[in-house]
Amino acid sequence: MQNNQPLLSICIPTYNRASILDGNLAVVYEQIKGKDFPIEVIVSDNCSSDNTSFIVNKYITDGMKISYIRNNVNTGMDGNFAQCYRRANGKYILVLGDDDYLIDGKLEKLINYLRKGDYGLVHLKTNSNSSSEEVFYDPEKFLQNISYWITYITSNIINSKYIEEYNFEQYFGTYLTIVPLYLAASIKHEKNLIISERIFADGIVSNTNGGYNFFEVFLENYLRLWRTFVSNGQISSSLYRFIKHDIYKRFLIPNIYNLLIKKDVNNYRLENSWGNLLKQYAFCSYFYFDPLIFITKSIAIKIFRKQRKITSTIASNLIRD
């Protein structure tokens, strides 16, 4: 790391979500106020028409060091993400969703994790209650452990040395613009890190998700990116087969149920969903068997919860009696 280079750049892309950004900056400021953390905070405002500028300048006036970038025109989600990475100065870059709030006290812990080594990609697990870390020298084992969570931008912190050589524009419109960058960094670097400690509370606001064709993005686009890395000899075909099965089993099946069966569409588009699914999985036996396992487990969980509720009610009544 160069002299005076921040260890970590926290970049927050935003557009017309001033109140949400306000809450995020308040949380960050509370954790850095009065402390000499080796970080920089960047807010990349994609030409918001609300009072985003007022919110950011409120914190700057109060003494919070923020590099505030306000675009003259809306460059789209992809352009704003790319700008965050290109304008960051830290050794590591975390692009933090404006509605992904850092948990109290966890920024200092994150900095301590990053100080311990030199990593290509650092992955923050969102579904862990433990407090541990694991260094990976085998990128394929690392990528197996991350699997489809590599698509979640806030969960991944990248070494900035890989930014300059990356062509963001090549992947604009895929809704997975940053994923090939994460893959390249984890493959090229000697070691990567998974932090199994919950650092942020994800998705404070969820009703704005969507706006794209769900199965086109997470089938066509996602698997195409992985196949490119197989074709280039950067990952093995066995890893690709694992990734393809894993996203289907643990991510797509629940969404098939919610989006296509329950019709809980949210803001997603669903044109040709079954066609995309059949194109990718029709000749995979697990395409037919895994949903049966999912249904069986779901029924078992419902029965268990119902039984536990009944038992709790009976026990409560006995105590009163």
Q: Is residue 89 within 8 Å of 5, Cβ to Cβ?
A: yes
Q: Do 113 and 200 share a structural domain?
A: yes
CATH of the domain at 48: 3.90.550.10
Helices (H) and strands (E) in the chain, counts: 12, 12
Beta bridge partners of 124: 195
Instruction: Say which residues have a Cβ less than 8 Å from residue 149's Cβ, sequence separation at least 6.
Output: 123, 125, 126, 155
Q: Do 235 and 198 share a structural domain?
A: no
pLDDT at 4: 85
For the chain, how are helix, strand and coil distributed in percent, rounded to 5?
50, 15, 30
Q: Do 188 and 58 share a structural domain?
A: yes
Residue 210 — pLDDT band, cuts 50, 70, 90?
A: confident
Q: Residue 184 to residues 171, 226, 256: CA-CA distances in angstroms?
A: 14, 11, 30
- Whether 1 maps to a domain, the answer reads no
Q: Do 150 and 33 share a structural domain?
A: yes
Q: Is residue 102 within 8 Å of 28, Cβ to Cβ?
A: yes
Distance from chain centroid for Cα 274 = 26
pLDDT at 30: 96
Q: Do 194 and 217 share a structural domain?
A: no
Evaluate the CA torsion angle 215, 217, 223, 227 in order and state its sign.
positive
- Whether 42 maps to a domain, the answer reads yes
- Whether 40 maps to a domain, the answer reads yes
Q: Do 204 and 96 share a structural domain?
A: yes
Query: Letter for the amino acid at 144?
Result: Q
Q: Do 191 and 229 share a structural domain?
A: no
Q: How many domains does the chain have?
A: 2
Decide: residue 75, CB within 10 A, 0-12 exposed, 13-18 middle, 19+ buried.
Answer: middle
Give me the domain span that covers residue 245.
213-300
Q: Do 152 and 24 share a structural domain?
A: yes
> Looking at the predicted structure, is the pLDDT value of residue 180 above 70?
yes
Q: Do 221 and 186 share a structural domain?
A: no
204 against 119, higher pLDDT: 119
E-strand spans in the chain? 8-14, 39-45, 66-70, 92-95, 101-102, 121-124, 132-136, 156-159, 192-196, 200-201, 210-213, 267-269
Q: Do 152 and 241 share a structural domain?
A: no
Q: Is residue 226 within 8 Å of 243, Cβ to Cβ?
A: yes
274-320 residue pLDDT tens: 999 999 999 999 999 999 999 988 887 777 676 666 556 555 555 65
- Give the residue-averaged pLDDT of 197-225: 85
Q: Do 149 and 55 share a structural domain?
A: yes
Q: How far apart are CA 249 and CA 262, in angstroms?
A: 18
Q: Do 161 and 27 share a structural domain?
A: yes
Tell which of 148, 174, 208 closes a domain: 208
